[in-house]
Chain A
Amino acid sequence: MDFTFNEDQTAILEHVKEFCHEQLAPKAQETDEAGVWPAANVAKLGQLDLMGIPVPEDHGGLGMDFLTWAAVGEELSRACTTTGAVYGAHMLAVFPIMHFGTDEQKRKYLTPLARGEHIGAFGLTEPGAGSDAAAVATKAVKDGDGYVLNGTKIFITNGGEAQTYVIITSTDPTKGVRGLSAFIVEKGTPGFEFGKNEKKMAYPSLPNRELIFTDCRLPKGNLLGREGGGFLVAMRTLGVGRIGMAIGAVGVARAALEAAVPYAKQRHQFGKPISSFQAIQFMLADMATEIDAARLLTWRAAWLKDHNKPFEKEAAMAKLYASEVAMRVTTKAVQVFGGYGYTKDFPVERYMREAKLFEIVEGTSEIQRLVIANQVIRELGG
């Protein structure tokens, strides 16, 4: 396993850091407070070729690996968590179409996604189904030459703004997860509408919308993978998605540490900078160590994915650990800032609210532990 970046990866990362420093980070607070879709940032991600990093070049991508995609995601999330989240959620449509799509589907849907001309979203969660994928109640019923969808998805990131949705439905409710099927649905398809946009603890500019399907008719060419193969599409997509969430968590944790350190050096109490006190130093040391460990777990999962090795357990470990690290690190950052950290004059209180998302989204910490435990018991249980 080797995390030495080659020349191309280094060039891309340097360029992304410059972009983040010059264009994203200075406006992060504004982007958050605006409460509207960060259209300008998202357009720039497309113009910079960042929306299809692991997509083959003949489908409009950069033809690079998931490790690069993850490293870029950390920088984006660190600079502007909201923009980083759009980037992460976009991959949840890009990856399944890239992996399971037919040539025709790739040409029609993947290319504009990879170029950033279209934004992607992924719909699994429902009012009665989240952790329990087998409980998906959105139905797709075969009807002549196509399918008719009925049901509601909730909390869908990029919902309403995205053009291309990968939707997990049930084509055969008697078969549980084996009766699930994935579809590509375009915004504007008759019978596909958007409902409530959730008001959340953080990310007011990031849409998490309800998707409502009412007799929404799709041609059979929109079936992604095979009928009954929807659970596989969902699990593979969530595997990659967990890498994305893990690195997003590393990004926000890093933002918190990088805010806390200069503050600790500059804030004086008892005639000394508080960074000279061990109580603060130990916090900073733990924060830095845990961030590094979280990043390495995440990079390992990405590396395994890039080398076509099983990575589900490792992605779950990365997502579990990184999200909990983000929570601990951002909480400590608020503590380092003391009373000021609790005010909106500094960004650390926002980081703390943003970090909480990662422990819940795309499989809660509890679900990650189940995924890991199942594998560990299978591997070591004898």
Chain B
Amino acid sequence: MNIVVCIKQVPETTDVRVDPKTNALIREGVKSIVNPFDENAVEAALQLKEAHGGKVTVITMGPPQAEEALRHTIAMGADEAILLTDAAFRGSDTLATSYALAAAVRKLGDVDLVLCGKQAIDGDTGQVGAGLAERLGVPQVTFAIGLEIADDKLRARRVLDDMYEVIEVKLPAVVTVVKQINEPRFPSMRNVLKAKKAEIIKWTAADLAADLTQTGFDGSPTQVIRVWPPEKRAGGQMLEGEPDEVVDKLAAIIRELSVL
């Protein structure tokens, strides 16, 4: 089976810093990694390939340095990696990103399954996987914690807030996975060295025959106006003592604040 995994290169820290002027992520001095959930998606793809045969292709859209993230997935065992890189892709929101990724999946043709991480640890929107399924017009399964393939069907176990759900979809489909689905393998040194020399295929907007009104800034209805870390909450007031005492103190405070 032909599996495509869409990944994103993200800054390593979950404590993302934002440039107050441009509202863009500050990337200087921060190591870039493969989005951890996407690593789970790559691992899931490799396990399916090991069980059913086929090929794993990894795609990312990003600046030229996103190549490093793709090399990591080749070191893990992916067969092929494609970097969508073009000035026309700059400023893409999730809608424009899913447009470019869908165009790349279509260009590959004959894809049985597309896997994504449930969300990226920088933007945290979780929209690209779902958007991609819409763009491709195929079924989608989000938050998968288990996958089974039987013939042309996929059975997935989803993690919801308070339950698991098992659903079955026809392939091709798009699936987003959660961290608990597996433990991504640590690449062997041999594969790390091989991956350094591997060819990374590069596709531009023209290669995808992309409609430029749908890509980059022009294709992105979402504009980030401002991003800021939440203000630290001042520590609350702890009331101590026996329940009766505490209730009395609390009632006194509420009365004093005259909020009732």
Q: Is A48 within 8 A of B196, CB to CB?
A: no
Q: Please, which residue of chain B has its CB at the minimum distance from the CB of A10?
A: B196
Rounded to whole Å, the gap between the CB of A14 and the closest CB of chain B is: 9
Let me know if A8 is at the binding interface, CB within 8 A: yes
Neighbouring B residues of A19 by C-beta, 8 Å: 186
Number of A-B contacts (CB under 8 A): 30
Q: A376 within 8 Å of B by Cβ? A: no
B30 CB to nearest chain A CB (Å) = 16
User: B193 touches which one: A8, A22, A44, A47 (CB < 8 A)?
Assistant: A8
A3-48 with Cβ < 8 A to chain B:
7-8, 11-12, 15, 19, 22-23, 44, 47-48
Asked if B186 contacts A12 (CB within 8 A), the reply is no
User: Is A49 engaged at the interface, CB distance under 8 Å to the other chain?
Assistant: yes
A50 in contact (CB, < 8 A): yes
Asked if B192 and A47 sit within 8 Å, CB to CB, the answer is: no
Expressed in whole angstroms, the minimum distance between the Cβ of A19 and any Cβ of chain B is 6
- A261 in the interface, Cβ–Cβ < 8 Å? no
Would you call A283 an interface residue if the criterion is a C-beta within 8 Å of the partner chain's C-beta atoms?
no
On chain B, the number of residues with a Cβ less than 8 Å from chain A's Cβ atoms is: 8
Check A11–B192 contact: CB distance below 8 A: yes
Contact A15 B196, beta carbon cutoff 8 Å:
no
Per-residue CB contact flags for chain A residues 41-78 toward chain B (1 = under 8 Å, else 0) read: 00010011110010000000010000000000000000
How far is the CB of A130 from the nearest CB of chain B, in Å?
A: 35
B187 and A15 contact, CB distance less than 8 A: yes
CB distance from B233 to the nearest CB of A (A): 25
Q: Are A62 and B190 in contact (CB under 8 A)?
A: yes
**A226 → chain B closest CB, angstroms:** 34
User: Which residues of B are found within 8 Å of A48, using beta-carbon distances?
Assistant: 186-189
Alpha-carbon distance between A12 and B192 when the two chains are bound, in angstroms: 7
Q: A7-B196, A8-B196, A11-B196 are in contact. Are A49 and B186 (CB under 8 A)?
A: no
Interface string of B148-187 (1 = CB under 8 A from A): 0000000000000000000000000000000000000011
With A and B bound together, what is the CA distance between A11 and B193 in angstroms? 7
Q: Select which of A15, A22, A23, A53 is within 8 A of B192 by beta carbon.
A: A15
What B residues does A50 contact at CB under 8 A? 189
Cα–Cα, bound, A11→B191 (Å): 11
- Cβ contact within 8 Å between B193 and A23: no
Give, as a whole number of angstroms, the nearest-CB distance from B10 to chain A: 16
Chain B residues with Cβ below 8 Å from A15 are: 187, 189, 192
Distance in Å: Cβ of A224 to nearest Cβ of chain B: 27
Q: Which A residues are in CB contact (< 8 Å) with B189?
A: 12, 15, 48-50, 53, 62
Could you list some 20 contacts between A and B, CB below 8 A?
A: A7-B196, A8-B193, A8-B196, A11-B193, A11-B196, A12-B189, A12-B193, A15-B189, A15-B192, A19-B186, A23-B186, A44-B186, A47-B188, A48-B186, A48-B187, A48-B188, A49-B188, A49-B190, A62-B189, A62-B193
